[in-house]
Amino acid sequence: MRRIATEEAFVIPEVLGPMLDRAASEAYDPDLFFWSKAADGSPLQRRLLDLGDERLQIMDETGVDVQLISLASTGVQMFGADEGTALATLANDVLADAIAKHPTRYAGLASFAPQDPARAAKEIERAMTRLGYNGVIVNSHTNGDYLDQPEYWPILEACEATGAPLYIHPRAPSPQMIAPYSAYTLEHAIFGFQAETALHALRLIVGGLFDRFPKLTVVLGHGGEGLHYWLPRLDGMHANFKAPEGKRPQLQMAPSDYIRRNFAITTSGMNWAPAVRFAIDAVGVEKIMFAIDYPFVDSAKSVAEMDAIEISAAEKAAIYHRNAERIFRIAPAN
């Protein structure tokens, strides 16, 4: 069965170098801490920088036919607007070259710098219409800002206009919410990542962004960041706890309706049978895509876990490749 992995990372030296320098010289920052794990000489750094032989060898050894590749978190969002914009363009050009060399093995999610929404929108348009990307990625908040804020709407408009699925990838919680997490080092993937990213997604929903951009598709990794476990409660509490006049817009549908209509989820780091089976029941198998989170998660383990899940062959084919082919417009195998 064809396997498409939909949340797989790379980095360019021009992004990695400054992040490592900052991690070595600045006070503790949870986002810089993650970069420090890719220190010089580490297997993680080597695999992030590689878009050639080793990546392809691991894909071959583990039965992964296609990787949907994106710039590792936090991407360019910790740079100034000018530098971040330039680095996003460079990273997109580098990945586009790699995809052109391996068109049947690689697909891509383009980076952009939300720090400058107008230029971000232009880069999304360039990536989707000229470079042939399959979608775009943002690493949740940018300097504590979220995409539901009006100044960032040009980004969502560009995604909808170009048909670009928007993958919201985690980073550590925003400055406004991190303190209770950092007391026990909960700000990373143990809990902070999913709490922050689910919050971002929910802000888009209750902020009425899917009424404004009804064709926008948002993708959440790591088992949907847990949001689909809350569907009845989201609907009930949204209806029961009315916001003051003007505090939030009146929605055309219930929150769960937007999750089912406008969202898809991936299994990155969460190829766990109970979670996958629940996701099928909650949002439908047509909304779920296989992912590994390479090179942060072991490819062989992820494939073995997904292979072992007791679901029908049709459901497994949908998760492994058919949904990614449809949602990200990845060409079917010949």
List, by residue number, the catalytic residues. 293
Task: Supply φ then ψ for residue 101, to 5 degrees.
Answer: -75, -30
For every residue of 190-258, DSSP letters joined together read TTHHHHHHHHHHHHHHHTTHHHHSTT--EEE-TGGGGGGGGHHHHHHHHHHSPPPTTTSPPPSS-HHHH
Q: What is the separation of C-alpha 255 from the centre of its chain, rounded to a whole number of angstroms?
A: 20
- List residues bridging with 219 in a β-sheet: 167, 264
> What is the 3 state secondary structure string of 80-148?
CHHHHHHHHHHHHHHHHHHHHHCCCCEEEEECCCCCCHHHHHHHHHHHHHCCCCCEEEECCCECCECCC
How far apart CA 60 and CA 64 sit, in angstroms, is 6
Specify whether the CB–CB gap between 77 and 18 falls below 8 A: no
Contacting residues for 200 by C-beta, under 8 A, at least 6 apart: 140, 141, 146, 147, 168
Q: What number of residues does the chain have?
A: 334
Work out the end-to-end distance of the chain between its first and last CA atoms, rounded to an integer number of angstroms: 13
